[in-house]
């Protein structure tokens, strides 16, 4: 994995209640592949991750979503967690930030409850995707073709169901982000 994403700047959008393992494992995969992930959140300071319903580690926020420029990032990762997913989708700046990645055709990866923000941003219509099972009705109502699979790649969108899928999700992130960077390099 080392070097595929050499120097790629990746936004990781999360807030309090993010599922810790869904933040940590993709972050680690990105770093191991040479990317430079940055924690983008709703407020300055720190966020508290959760291990299911128990408080976990705190994480330092690099920048707020209101201050972050989507053009500064090559890709976006949206970790899950019920609380995180609900708070992020309720923040207009966060929804606009996510939508900007789709408007620019940049790769976006979302796991578990994170696809809620994708539905809120109206970017799932006609997309094949997966999520935590309880979101399937929301995603179908937003126009997605929801499937129960470990990882789904539909164009620039990578989705996964839950922490059990993290190995496949992290591998898909690195592979798809590297492919997007290669395509960008070919255009330059």
Known catalytic residues are: 113
Are 158 and 164 within 8 A, CB to CB? no
Token pair recorded at residue 77: 């990762």
Nearest one of 108, 102, 136 to 121, comparing CA atoms: 102
- Distance between CA 125 and CA 117 in Å, rounded? 13
Q: List helix spans (H) across the chain.
A: 20-32, 82-89, 92-103, 115-120, 136-141, 166-187
Per the CB < 8 A criterion, the answer to whether 27 and 76 are in contact is: no
How far apart are the C-alpha atoms of 97 and 170, rounded to whole Å?
Answer: 22
């Amino acid at each position: 994995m080392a070097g595929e994403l050499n120097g790629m700047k990746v936004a990781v959008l999360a807030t309090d209640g993010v599922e810790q393992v869904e933040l940590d494992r993709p972050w680690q995969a990105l770093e191991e592949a040479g990317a430079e992930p940055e924690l983008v959140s709703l407020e300055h300071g720190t966020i508290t991750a959760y291990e299911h319903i128990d408080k976990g580690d705190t994480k330092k926020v690099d920048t707020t979503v209101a201050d972050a420029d989507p053009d500064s990032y090559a890709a976006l990762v949206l970790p899950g967690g019920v609380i995180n997913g609900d708070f992020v989708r309720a923040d207009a700046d966060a929804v606009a930030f996510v939508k900007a990645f789709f408007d620019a055709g940049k790769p976006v990866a979302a796991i578990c409850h994170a696809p809620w923000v994708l539905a809120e941003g109206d970017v799932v219509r006609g997309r094949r995707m997966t999520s935590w099972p309880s979101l399937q009705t929301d995603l179908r109502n937003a126009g997605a073709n929801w499937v129960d699979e470990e990882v789904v790649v539909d164009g620039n969108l990578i989705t996964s169901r839950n922490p059990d899928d993290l190995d496949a999700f992290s591998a898909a992130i690195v592979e798809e982000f590297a492919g997007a960077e290669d395509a960008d390099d070919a255009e330059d």
